[in-house]
Amino acid sequence: MRYNLSEISQLIEDRRTVLPEQFSERKVHREIIENLLNAARWAPTHKLTQPWRFTVFMGRGLSVFGQFHADTYKRITDPVKFSEIKFEKLKNRPLLASAVIAVAMHRDSENRLPEIEEIAAVSAAVQNMSLLAAAYGLGFYWGTGGMTYTDEMRSFLGHDVGDKVLGLIYLGYPEGNWPRKTPRKPIEYFTQWVED
């Protein structure tokens, strides 16, 4: 197997978060989203539990999702803390995207693995998706705001108690230039070498 290593390294560096507010009107086709989901399933998975679960909202599904998200926020938030601006944002943000993909971790029925390993596998799956999305020139935003971590969101998506919603991916084509690099620390900062 031969790969173009410099292109792959460049892709990894170039992958960026693009917020829905930076998306153009151009729509991402379902076939491309299927390709992203196919990339997800090749992530590493201990005992092959394949714990990733996705719910794709597209078309009218985007307004269904936005309405649910905003209504849930209103219903479970202390009226003193409620913000109309946040309500509108939760409702309308999905409409800026071609698709919103809710990402969840499904616990296998026997709980064979520590939860952290299942979350790690789903995170790897999301990274596969985001790299392929970057290769397509797609904007990709992994958000965890709003009601992401609530039981209401988990059950709306049809997931069991014990499963966890890990985020909402907003997909679209970026308007204008690809975002600039975000800063990263050098490897010396986070690596210990033990040799000899």
Q: Which residues bind ligand FMN (CB under 6 A)?
A: 16-17, 142-145, 167, 182
Nearest distance, CB of residue 184 and ligand FMN, angstroms: 8
Nearest distance, CB of residue 41 and ligand FMN, angstroms: 19
Q: Which residue is nearest to ligand FMN (CB)?
A: 17
Q: Which is closer to ligand FMN, CB of 79 or CB of 137?
A: 137
Query: How many angstroms separate the CA atoms of 75 and 9, rounded?
Result: 45
Q: Which is closer to ligand FMN, CB of 12 or CB of 59?
A: 12
Nearest distance, CB of residue 193 and ligand FMN, angstroms: 25
Residue written as token pair 């299942």: 118
Q: Which is closer to ligand FMN, CB of 12 or CB of 47?
A: 12
Query: How many angstroms separate the CA atoms of 103 and 123, rounded?
Result: 9
Q: Which is closer to ligand FMN, CB of 13 or CB of 30?
A: 13
Contacts of 161 (CB under 8 A, 6+ apart): 151, 154
Nearest distance, CB of residue 123 and ligand FMN, angstroms: 7
What is the edge-to-edge ordering of all strands in the sheet holding 52-58?
52-58, 99-105, 164-172, 139-143
Q: What is the DSSP letter of 23?
A: B
Beta carbons of 169 and 126 less than 8 angstroms apart: yes
Nearest distance, CB of residue 144 and ligand FMN, angstroms: 4
Query: How many angstroms separate the CA atoms of 32 and 170, rounded?
Result: 14
Q: Which is closer to ligand FMN, CB of 29 or CB of 36?
A: 36
Report residue 174: phi and psi, to 5°: -70, 145
Q: Which is closer to ligand FMN, CB of 182 or CB of 191?
A: 182
Q: What is the DSSP letter of 129?
A: H
* CB-facing half-sphere around the CA of 114: CA atoms within 13 A: 3
